[in-house]
Amino acid sequence: MSGLTKCPKCGNDSLIKKPRARIMSEKFGLMLHTADEYVLDCLGNQCGYVSDAIQIKTKIGNKLSLPWYKRIFN
């Protein structure tokens, strides 16, 4: 998602994706970046809409979410 999109509350083109957190997991003594967390904020003056957290997995996060036997054969 890039640029401004329509806000579900006020209907104006004012919804923007804002990074909130970086999800890290420890595997074998290493910290791996497995996902990013975003929220959608409305830039309208009186709207104040903020969405729930949206997690988007990285390539490593997608691979680690698979069962161990699928990780071996992929």
Domain count along the chain: 1
Model pLDDT for residues 20-54, shown as the tens digit of each residue:
888 888 877 888 888 999 988 888 778 888 888 88
β strands within 1-74, DSSP E? 5-6, 13-27, 30-42, 54-57
59's tokens: 């390539």
Average pLDDT over residues 57-68: 83
Question: Could you give the CA distance from residue 31 to residue 35 in angstroms, rounded to a whole number?
Answer: 12
Task: Give the domain extent around 48.
Answer: 5-73
The pLDDT value given to residue 22: 86
